[in-house]
């Protein structure tokens, strides 16, 4: 007879009631979960910020303190290795930690297919050798060729990742896309594919754009969810990194008397001594590229703004 092991409920070892954290308030210790959102919502930037925090012991997003520090294993299936390096270096600069020696280990294999037993074995052997505190896989769509909408296909792959977490006592972060046009749904319900993905996570982070603002929603299975945060992508000279906007900054931006996008562009150009590029305008106006492009086109058509080379300036009034 080959029975499963059991024990009586009162014989199970007790564990303290409080939540144990990998990053306090943001990601539970040894949790599996998803960083989700529509395309171009900075999901990879957020995942890399968690990676830098765990590897260096610095505060994630300059606000959330890691409860532990250790190696991180990362696979980036969409961005080139040079882009991954540049982003990590920018986040390390924002966090005030040296990039040299940062304990983030990047898988350089061109592909990783977690629906293939051979690749599952290779990833398991790598995790076993490195013993990472956090495994980051970005994005889910590049890790398989299964039908994401079929629970029968998705569940075994998520089960494999849960097994990795339990065998090697590591947290697993999976970057995944939300469906387009699902802004009316709750964040977890907006994830693309099977509902197995939302149900799987112990800690989930969701990014959404509301107008020009980037909002972060935090969700935990066994702890209260944190307050929603508003983030912005900031240029630190050596690269980009996310940072939360504090309440006074948000209030200043969203107050009823705040200038329109057109007014903000005109005000910045009026103060500039030389023509400004689109990148310089985006940084000064804190505006999305799509919004900036639309408003600039309107201002140029009306004759209010003139393009000079690769820069823009206000047209001199007669």
Q: pLDDT tens string for the chain (318 positions)?
A: 789 889 989 888 776 556 799 999 999 999 999 999 998 899 999 999 999 999 999 999 999 999 999 999 999 999 999 999 999 999 999 999 999 999 999 999 999 999 999 999 999 999 999 999 999 999 999 999 999 999 999 999 999 999 999 999 999 999 999 977 655 566 677 899 999 999 999 999 999 988 778 999 999 999 988 889 999 998 877 789 999 987 544 444 444 445 678 888 888 888 888 889 888 888 888 777 778 887 888 888 888 888 877 788 888 653
pTM of the shown model? 0.76
Burial 123-152 (b: 16+ CB within 10 A, else e): beebbeebebbbbbbbbbebbbebebeebe
Give me the pLDDT at residue 193, please: 93
* Cβ atoms 27, 65 nearer than 8 A: no
Pairing of strands 72-76, 203-210: unpaired
Going from N- to C-terminal start, the domains of the chain cover 17-249, 259-314
Instruction: Judge: domain 259-314, CATH 1.10.10.10.
Output: yes
Give the DSSP H or E segment for 105: strand 104-106
Indicate the CATH number of 17-249 among 3.40.50.300, 3.20.20.70, 3.30.1330.10, 3.40.47.10.
3.40.50.300
């Amino acid at each position: 007879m080959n029975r499963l092991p059991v024990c009586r409920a009162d014989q199970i070892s007790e564990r303290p009631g409080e939540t144990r954290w990998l990053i306090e308030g943001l990601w539970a210790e040894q949790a599996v979960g998803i960083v989700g959102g529509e395309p171009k919502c900075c999901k990879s930037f957020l995942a890399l910020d968690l990676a830098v925090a765990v590897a260096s012991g610095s505060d994630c997003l300059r606000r959330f303190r890691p409860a532990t520090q250790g190696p991180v294993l990362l696979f980036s299936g969409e961005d080139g290795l040079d882009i991954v390096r540049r982003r990590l270096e920018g986040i390390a600069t924002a966090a005030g930690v040296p990039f040299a020696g940062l304990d983030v280990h990047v898988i350089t294999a061109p592909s990783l297919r977690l629906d293939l037993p051979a690749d599952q074995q290779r990833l398991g052997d790598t995790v076993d050798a490195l013993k990472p505190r956090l495994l980051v896989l970005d994005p889910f769509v590049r890790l398989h060729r299964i039908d994401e909408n079929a629970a029968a296909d998705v569940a075994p792959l998520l089960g494999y990742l849960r097994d990795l977490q339990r065998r090697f006592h590591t947290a697993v972060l999976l970057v995944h896309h939300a469906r387009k046009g699902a802004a009316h749904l709750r964040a977890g319900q907006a994830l693309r594919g099977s509902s197995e993905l939302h149900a799987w996570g112990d800690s989930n982070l969701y990014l959404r754009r509301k107008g020009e603002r980037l909002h972060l929603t935090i969700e935990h299975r066994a702890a209260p969810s944190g307050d929603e945060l508003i983030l912005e992508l900031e240029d630190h000279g050596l690269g980009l990194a996310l940072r939360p906007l504090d309440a006074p900054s948000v209030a200043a931006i969203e107050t009823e008397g705040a200038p329109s996008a057109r007014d903000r562009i005109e005000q910045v150009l009026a103060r500039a001594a030389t023509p400004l590029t689109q990148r310089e305008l985006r940084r000064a106006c804190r505006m999305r590229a799509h919004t900036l492009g639309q408003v600039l086109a309107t201002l140029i058509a009306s004759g209010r703004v003139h393009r000079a080379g690769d820069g823009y300036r206000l047209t001199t009034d007669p």
